[in-house]
Each structure stands twice: as structure tokens, then as C-alpha cells.
Structure 1
């Protein structure tokens, strides 16, 4: 946005050919603020850019395809709740076009909640200022306040994403805030507990349902959301596999089914008789994420484990124990549903067999 008008920014490495081609575009100008050339953002000008540079340079067109759905999952997108909220005096609600774009792009409900929450926090910080008038300096000042509150890097990145979504996706301003600094990516090792501690947690569950939940989280390496989305038909007892539908990144995969877990699942099914989802709450509704977290935490506390144990700790432990038993890293990657082998390689830093092969210089 320059003087209230949308422009097409052209950023490139210094090159005489590109500079000469830009001069041939309709009314090119240079922005000192954004450090790039620009022309008026019209459909005709966009076509001229591609015809001018065709065969000479590669152009990133992704930012102009803002209506392309992000996901093709059948998950019901829960945006209507935000529209029907009771108005709060002096509170600036998320704009309708923001909600509509989240809905059209079929963002996951967890992402919708995160984006709406953070964006409303941001716009209420500048409630007396028009959204289009907010610039990079304002955003930096807002982020600085959050940093002084000692929020995590992940929290800060999600705030930036929610703000960028409005200006770049909703309003269609390509790379509006490309100069906003992001916190350096943290490199933390996954928290892992021993097999003996896993067994102790299972033994300290309250009932057969809770035992099945803990066993599946660990023995199949499931994320909490994946466990909650499991249907009865996703348990393949003949092939001893669990089918995960619409996992992270909208990917399907198969993972292991433990014989011990299967035996307990059969007892659980006869006793609890779930109708649709494998684990259900009241009135056959989907079990809640909070319930699963509480089951794991309380069972770990009863087992006398001092460290906080979460469903993701069980997943980390599953991967690490497989690696320690000699399972190939590529196979672990497939079971976990990781898109990149680099993500799975983190477990080599905590697997004990990595260190057992190394002789200590003191010894």
C-alpha cells in the first residue's frame, strides 16, 4: 500500500537486463521505504509483468492466488461462533472479511481460534487507529511489548502470522510486512521418558478407556488431535495397523497397532460401546483434548513421575525407543508422519544407543 493504493512490488537482485525491462513497464517508480520498484496493482499490469519477463526470470505468483483453499479436509470449520458472539462494549471484533477468508481457505479450527484470538488482541491494542493506517513501526512496537512479557518464540510467530494473514491474504497485499523480524528458531530437544515409566503410567490409569488412550498415544506415536479423530473403522486388527486420516499437513498415514493395545481395545469396546469415534464423551460427542491431557498428567503423577508428561512426550518416547531398538530412521519418519527427515533426526540426539557407542575419554 502506497498512499492508500495497492501496488505490485518488484524486488530483485541487481541486474542490468531486469532494470531495463522494468523501465518498459507502465509507470514504474521506486520506493525508498520498501527498497523496491513498483507499479499500480491491476490485472492488466500483472499480465504485462509476466509477458515482459517471460523466459527471462522466474516470478513468484503465489501471493496473487489468495483464494486457493489451504485444506481439502472434511472437518467442519467453526467460524460461525465468532459471528454470533455477544458484543462487548469497547471491544474491537475480528472483521467479517477476516473470518470469511479463514472459512473459504478451510483453515483448521485450532488455527482459526489462534488467528482470531491474536488478531483481536492486536487490533484492540490500536483500537483508535484504522487498520490500513497501521504500519511496520506499529507492529514492531506491539511485538516489543509482547517480548517484554517474556512470551515464547512460538507465541510471537503465531501473532505475526495472524497479522500478516489480514494484510497479505485478506487485503491481498503481497509481502506487506516482509521486513518484520521473526525470532530465531529455537532448537530444543524432545522430552523423553523410559519404557519402565511408560508401563508405570499405563498401570496407574483409572479405567480401561484411559488405559487404551495412553497405550495408543505411545504404541502408535499419535498426536493428541489424531487420537481424538480416530474412528472405530481406523483400527485394522487384521493388518495390525492404525489409519490416521487428515493428520498434520492434511496427510493420511498408517502407523503401528500394538497387540497389547488391541486386546485392551476389544475389552473397552464391549464395555463402553462407542458409536462413531473410537473415544467419545457424553452423548457420543468427540472426546476433548483437555480430557486426554488430564488423563496422561494424572496417571503420570500417580506413577510418581516428577516431570510433566503430556501426550506429545509419549509420542517422542515412541520414536526414541524405536530408534534405540534399531528401527531405521526413514521408517520412523513414515510412522510419525513427518514431511522431512530432518524433523525425525532430532531423536538421534536423545537416543541412548547414539551415546553407548562412544567411549568416554575418562574411562
Structure 2
């Protein structure tokens, strides 16, 4: 099994990021390491930067894990450029870490001398050699392209940097019966409400956690999603059943700022706790599939399509920039497939 690890700064703390293709055994083992956490923004597991963990994951000395002084300076400038362009903090972290890895690989080479050929060498001798994912490679390409757009003295031809071929991976979808079991697994109204909101409105995890009670418009039966992915506002319809549940939830919890708050009033509910809510629901109903919160969003879109909702409306509801992103749900909808008669039946 192939993996790679490196020290990082995460939310001001020294951590070790561990990268590997999705593997059930590796995930089980890394969960046993004290303090291990999954980060969607890093697309990696991360754990405390201790001597024990450095030995366990064979981390090279810190001095060998840093770019040149020129590289460090340029990374800071790149971060400032990203922030000035209003990129989200998670994107700033992801891109700067990807760029750092690239510049560590070329720490002995002046940045002005780095060429397109060097990107190909990096992809082969680092990413492919360490069996890192195509999505990580694509993130690195994004970071390198953006970075060299900010550099005046360069031999890099940004438009010529090639991307990895995208794998045609179908979204994971649950049946309506499976969704119903998951949503009804919790007796706690708060936990039930969070999972129900994600499915009933097709929300991303961050969109749910950033909701305020003022974003719920009960008169128009909509929820306003402000500053969602891509810094776009959009609205999603609220079913009467969800509104009734929200009223019951509000009476029980009376949130101060965020629609869903942590143990302390006014504190946003954490991503880790939300993932735990889903994990507990799956355990209660005996569902052994590797279900994630995003599966509920995929299921929402697919069920809408199967009920006859126009693809253009689904695109708007999900906040997709391109209709091609939404069209993938046509490949997992079973409504049309069920009408096809197999030639085997005529034998």
C-alpha cells in the first residue's frame, strides 16, 4: 500500500498530513492514531506532529522538507495574491500546500528556470511514484498554473501545462428507502434535523454549517444560501415537513447565531461532529456502506431527476456552474434503465 506524509501547518498547529488513495484498511489504521483527523480542504488525513508520528510515517528531517528561501518568499506572496482575489481560506491552504510540495521538489532550482518539462518530471517522479491520486495531481496543476500567472520572469508556458485525465467516477446514490432509514435513525431532533436539511435541500456540508436562522424564509418556503461554493448566493425550496421540524427544533434549542450550534451558544457546529452524527446513524441502522454526507446531496439530485424535475432546475438547485456537472446524475438514475427489457428474458 502506497502513501506519503509531510509536516504541515493546519489552523496554526504543527500537523503531519498523510496522503493515500482511498483504502479501507489504511483508513482503519490511521483512525487508531491518537488525534488523527480527516480534512476535506487538504484532501488528506492529518495528525499531531510528534517524534513518534515522524518515525511512524518516515518523515525526512524538517530542513529537507522546505523550499528554498526564494520559494518560501514566493509562497507567502502567492497566499497574499490568492487572498486579494477573494479565494476561500480552504483554497488558500490547499493551493499553497500543493505549491510548497512542488517547490520543495525543485528547491535547488531558481523559480525563473522552472519549465513545463519540470511539471511533467514532478508528476512522474513524485505524484505517480508515490501513488498519489489524480485529484491531488489536478490540485497541484491548479496551484502551479495560478502561481506562474503571478510570476513575471518565467520560462513556464501556463497554457501548456497539461492536466491528468479525469476518471469518470459516478456519484454514489442511496435509494429513498435507505435515505429514510438514515434520517429516522436519530431520536435527537437536532441530529435528525441536520441530516434532513442536507438531503431535503441538496446542501454541501459547509453550506449547512454556515446557515443562520435568518436564512430561513418561512413565508416563501425557501432557504437562502449565502456565499456558497464559488461565492455564489442561491436559494433552495423548503418542504412543509422540514419547516415543521425546524419550528420544533428551534423551540428545543433556541440557537443564538448559527442554525446549528455546538455545545457552546453562538459556536458553529463542527465538521467532525457532523460527520459523527452520520456515522452514528449508519451504525444504528446497520448500514455498512462507506456513506458520506455528500451521498445525501447526490441522492437528492438523482431522486429529483427520477421524479421528473428538469435538469436545468437541478443545476440551479445544486449551484453547479456547468450543466455538464449536473448531467452526471443521468448516468445513475435507474428510472429509464428499469424500462429496458434484457434480451436474456426472450431466450
TM-score (norm 1): 0.71
What is the DSSP-based 3-state SS (H/G/I as helix, E as strand, rest coil) of the residue aligned with 2:228?
Answer: coil
Give the CA deviation at 1:305: 1.6
1:127 aligns with 2:100: no
Look at both structures and tell me which one has the larger radius of gyration over its CA atoms.
1
Is the 8 Å Cα contact of residues 145 and 161 (structure 2) preserved in structure 1?
A: no
Q: Deviations over 1:300-341 (max 9, x none)?
A: 232222211111110110111111122222222221122232
Is the 8 Å Cα contact of residues 168 and 175 (structure 1) preserved in structure 2?
A: no
Name the CA distance, whole Å, in 1 between partners of 2:293 and 2:180.
Answer: 14
1:153 aligns with 2:153: no
Is the 8 Å Cα contact of residues 115 and 157 (structure 2) preserved in structure 1?
A: no
Name the CA distance, whole Å, in 2 between partners of 1:258 and 1:296.
Answer: 22
Name the CA distance, whole Å, in 2 between partners of 1:199 and 1:295.
Answer: 15
Number of equivalenced pairs:
283
Give the CA deviation at 1:199: 1.3
- Unaligned 5+ segments in structure 1 are 1-78
**Residue 178 of structure 2 is aligned with which of 161, 184, 197?**
197
- Unaligned 5+ segments in structure 2 are 1-8, 16-61
Name the CA distance, whole Å, in 1 between partners of 2:269 and 2:243.
Answer: 20
Which moved further from structure 2: 210-219 or 320-329?
320-329
- The 5 A counterparts of 1:40-189 are 91-92=66-67, 93=72, 95-144=75-124, 145-171=126-152, 176-189=157-170
Alpha-carbon RMSD across the aligned residues, in angstroms, is 2.7
TM-score (norm 2): 0.74
Is the 8 Å Cα contact of residues 255 and 265 (structure 2) preserved in structure 1?
A: no
- The 5 A counterparts of 1:239-258 are 239-258=220-239
Name the residue aligned to 1:9. none
Q: Deviations over 1:71-103 (max 9, x none)?
A: xxxxxxxx9977x99xx6553446321121112
Is the 8 Å Cα contact of residues 101 and 170 (structure 1) preserved in structure 2?
A: no
Give the CA deviation at 1:105: 0.8
What is the DSSP-based 3-state SS (H/G/I as helix, E as strand, rest coil) of the residue aligned with 2:335?
Answer: helix
Name the residue aligned to 2:331. 349
